[in-house]
C-alpha cells in the first residue's frame, strides 16, 4: 500500500527530543536527525536567512560560504532601495516621527494600533523581500534579546521607534553600543518601568533584567544586593515628554539616589548623577559573564539548543578581543567545526518558516496578502513584538514542535502548495517542476529546487512511489496529473523535516 501524505510527514517530522548535549570535546557532534547532511553553503544560508530565493541561492553557491558571508555582513552595500520604497508607500507610519505617530494616535483614539500593525507588516515584508537577509536575522535576534512587548499604548509606538533607532542601527554593529542605546530607549524605560525609578523607592525591574537577560545571564555571578544597587544607580533614568508628548530619554538629577553603591565589587562613589548608570553599563559590558552569555545565545541560535562549550568559549574570546564586535563574533561562530556539523539541530520558528516558504518557492504576492500571514503567525504564536515576558520568544525545538503546532505548519504548507485559501499568494508549480515529466524526475526536480539537500534513499523512494500511484516511476504523467502531483509533493516536502529544520 502506498504511503499517505500524513504517514510520510509523521515519518520525517523534526525531532524535539533534545538529543544534542553540551560537550567539552573538540570534535563536533553530528546533526541529530537521520537525514543526509546539507552542503556547507546550504547550511550557512539556511541559518543566516529567511530562505534564499532561487537566484540568491545560485549566487551564494557561486560565491562560496566565506564570500557570501562577507557580502551579508557588509549589508549597507546591498541595495534595498526598492524594498524601502515599497515600505514607504505601503506602511508610511514606519518612517514617521514619533511626534506625528502620537498626534495621530490621539486623534484616532486607537492607542497606536495602526502604527503597530504597520510595524509588524513592514517587518514581515523585510524578511520576505530584503536582500540583507543576515541583517534581518540579526534584527530579529536582538529584538528577542532586548524584548519589548508592544501590545499596549504607548509601547505600540515606542517600540516602532526603538526598532528603527536602536535595534536596526546596531544589529550588525557593536554590542556595547547596542546595550547603551537600549538603556536610553524610551521603549525599554517604559516597558521595564525604569521611568518611575526614583530615590527611596527604587524600581528593580530593569536592573534585574539588565543583568539576568541582557548581559551577565541568570548564573552570571550577581546577587540580590547587586540588583538593589544597580537599581539605585539607574534612579532618575527616565522619559521626558516634550512637544506633543514626544518621549525622550532624560536624567532627573532630583530623582537620583546620590548615595554610595557597590556593583559586582565595583564602588560607585557618593555624590554623582547619571554617571552611576553609565558605570554600570561599562561594568556589565566588560564582564566575562556577559561575554559568555552573549556567546552562548548566539551559539544557541545558530548552532543548537545546547551548543558545545568549545564553540561558546571561542565566540566569547572574540567578544573580548574585538570589544564586542558583532560581525567578528559571527565570523568566529560560522567558521567553527561545531557549526559546520550542526545541521538539523535548529528548527524554523513560524516567523521564519512562513517567509522562507514564500521565498524559496518564489511565491507571487499581490494585493493585500499580509493579513493572511499575520493571522497564521497569530495561530502559530509568533507574531513579531507580541511576546509578553522580557525574555523574548523561545529559541528551542521543544517549544515550537509538538503535535498541534506540526499540524498547523502542515496546513499552511499544503494550502500554499495547492493554492487554497490564501488571497494574493500563488505559486508557479509548472515553473518549479521545469522539464520533469516522470514521477522520478518530478521528485528529484522539486527536492533540488526547494529542499536544496539530498533526500535519503528511503524518503526518495517513498515520494516516487507516492507520485507514481502504483504506476511506472519512469512513465511520463499526464499534464493534469503532473500538475496536481507536483502540488502535493511540494506541500509534503515543505512540511517535512527537510524544510522545517534550518
pLDDT in tens, 291-343: 999 999 999 999 999 999 999 999 999 999 999 999 999 999 999 999 999 99
pLDDT of the residue at 17: 45
pLDDT of the residue at 32: 44
Q: Judge contact between 499 and 416, C-beta under 8 A.
A: no
**Chain-centre distance for alpha carbon 143:** 8
CB count within 10 Å of CB 96 equals 18
Secondary structure (H, E, C), 373-424? HHHHHHHHCCCCCCCCCCCCCCCCHHHHCCHHHHHHHHHHHHHHHHCCCCCC
Distance CA 199, CA 202 (A): 6
pLDDT of the residue at 25: 28
Predicted confidence (pLDDT) at residue 198 exceeds the cutoff of 90: yes
Of 20-34, 89-103, 244-258, 273-287, give the lowest mean pLDDT range: 20-34
pLDDT of the residue at 423: 84
Distance CA 414, CA 406 (A): 12
pLDDT of the residue at 13: 72
Predicted confidence (pLDDT) at residue 373 exceeds the cutoff of 50: yes
Distance CA 80, CA 75 (A): 9
Predicted confidence (pLDDT) at residue 465 exceeds the cutoff of 90: yes
pLDDT of the residue at 158: 97
Mean pLDDT (the chain, rounded): 93
Q: Which three cell numbers stand for residue 370?
A: 499580509
pLDDT of the residue at 2: 62
The better pLDDT of the pair 1, 240 is held by 240
**Chain-centre distance for alpha carbon 446:** 27
Query: CA geometry: angle at 361 spanning 346 and 439, to 5°?
Result: 100
Per-residue pLDDT, averaged over 354-365, amounts to 97
* % of residues, the chain, pLDDT over 90: 89
Query: CA geometry: angle at 46 spanning 302 and 129, to 5°?
Result: 115
Total residues belonging to the chain: 502
pLDDT of the residue at 14: 79
Distance CA 428, CA 117 (A): 29
Per-residue pLDDT, averaged over 96-113, amounts to 94
Per-residue pLDDT, averaged over 132-147, amounts to 98
pLDDT of the residue at 16: 55
Q: Which three cell numbers stand for residue 170?
A: 546596531
Residue 420 confidence class, pLDDT cut points 50, 70, 90 = confident
Residue 243 confidence class, pLDDT cut points 50, 70, 90 = low
* % of residues, the chain, pLDDT over 70: 94
Task: Report pLDDT digits (tens) over 143-173.
Answer: 999 999 999 999 999 999 999 999 999 999 9
Predicted confidence (pLDDT) at residue 1 exceeds the cutoff of 60: no
Of 28-42, 288-302, 344-358, 375-389, give the lowest mean pLDDT range: 28-42
Distance CA 237, CA 274 (A): 8
pLDDT of the residue at 246: 84
The owner of cell 548552532 is 303
Predicted confidence (pLDDT) at residue 244 exceeds the cutoff of 50: yes
Residue 15 confidence class, pLDDT cut points 50, 70, 90 = low
The pTM of this model reads: 0.94
Distance CA 193, CA 187 (A): 10
Amino acid at each position: 500500500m502506498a504511503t499517505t501524505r500524513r504517514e510520510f510527514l509523521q515519518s520525517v517530522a523534526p525531532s524535539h527530543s533534545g538529543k544534542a548535549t553540551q560537550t567539552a570535546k573538540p570534535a563536533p557532534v553530528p546533526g541529530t536527525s537521520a537525514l543526509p547532511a546539507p552542503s556547507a553553503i546550504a547550511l550557512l544560508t539556511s541559518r543566516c536567512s529567511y530562505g534564499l530565493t532561487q537566484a540568491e541561492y545560485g549566487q551564494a553557491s557561486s560565491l562560496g560560504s566565506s564570500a557570501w558571508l562577507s557580502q551579508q555582513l557588509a549589508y549597507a552595500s546591498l541595495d534595498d532601495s526598492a524594498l524601502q520604497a515599497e515600505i514607504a508607500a505601503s506602511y508610511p507610519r514606519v518612517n514617521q516621527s514619533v511626534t506625528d505617530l502620537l498626534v495621530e494616535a490621539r486623534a484616532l483614539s486607537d492607542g497606536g494600533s495602526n502604527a503597530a500593525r504597520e510595524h509588524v507588516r513592514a517587518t514581515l515584508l523585510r524578511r520576505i523581500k530584503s536582500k540583507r537577509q543576515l541583517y534581518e536575522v540579526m534584527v530579529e535576534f536582538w529584538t528577542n534579546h532586548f524584548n519589548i512587548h508592544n501590545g499596549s499604548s504607548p509601547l505600540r509606538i515606542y517600540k516602532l521607534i526603538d526598532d528603527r533607532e536602536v535595534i536596526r542601527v546596531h544589529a550588525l554593529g557593536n554590542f556595547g553600543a547596542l546595550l547603551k542605546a537600549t538603556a536610553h530607549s524610551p521603549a525599554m524605560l517604559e516597558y521595564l518601568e525604569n521611568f518611575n525609578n526614583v530615590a527611596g523607592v527604587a524600581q528593580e525591574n530593569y536592573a534585574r533584567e539588565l543583568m539576568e537577560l541582557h548581559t551577565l545571564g541568570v548564573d552570571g555571578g550577581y546577587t540580590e544586593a547587586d540588583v538593589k544597587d544597580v537599581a539605585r544607580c539607574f534612579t532618575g533614568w527616565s522619559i521626558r515628554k516634550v512637544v506633543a508628548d514626544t518621549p525622550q530619554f532624560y536624567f532627573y538629577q532630583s530623582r537620583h539616589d546620590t548615595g554610595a553603591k557597590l556593583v559586582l565589587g565595583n564602588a560607585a562613589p557618593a555624590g554623582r548623577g547619571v554617571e552611576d548608570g553609565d558605570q554600570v553599563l561599562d561594568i556589565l559590558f566588560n564582564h566575562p559573564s556577559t561575554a559568555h552569555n552573549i556567546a552562548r545565545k548566539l551559539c544557541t541560535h545558530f548552532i543548537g539548543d545546547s551548543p558545545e562549550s568549545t564553540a561558546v568559549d571561542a565566540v566569547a574570546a572574540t567578544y573580548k578581543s574585538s570589544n564586542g564586535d558583532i560581525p567578528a563574533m559571527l565570523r568566529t561562530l560560522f567558521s567553527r567545526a561545531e557549526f559546520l556539523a550542526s545541521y538539523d539541530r535548529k528548527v524554523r520558528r513560524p516567523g521564519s518558516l512562513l517567509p522562507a516558504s514564500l521565498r524559496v518557492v518564489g511565491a507571487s504576492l499581490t494585493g493585500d496578502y499580509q493579513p493572511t500571514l499575520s493571522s497564521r503567525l497569530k495561530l502559530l504564536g509568533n507574531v513579531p513584538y507580541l511576546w509578553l515576558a522580557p525574555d523574548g520568544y523561545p529559541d528551542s525545538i521543544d517549544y515550537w514542535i509538538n503535535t498541534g503546532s506540526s499540524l498547523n505548519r502542515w496546513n499552511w504548507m499544503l494550502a500554499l502548495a495547492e493554492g487554497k485559501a490564501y488571497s494574493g499568494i500563488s505559486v508557479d508549480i509548472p515553473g518549479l517542476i521545469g522539464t520533469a515529466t516522470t514521477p522520478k524526475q518530478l521528485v528529484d526536480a522539486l527536492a533540488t529546487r526547494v529542499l536544496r539537500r539530498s533526500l535519503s534513499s528511503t524518503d526518495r523512494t517513498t515520494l516516487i512511489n507516492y507520485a507514481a500511484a502504483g504506476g511506472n516511476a519512469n512513465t511520463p504523467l499526464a499534464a493534469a496529473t503532473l500538475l496536481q502531483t507536483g502540488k502535493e509533493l511540494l506541500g509534503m516536502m515543505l512540511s517535512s523535516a527537510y524544510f522545517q529544520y534550518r
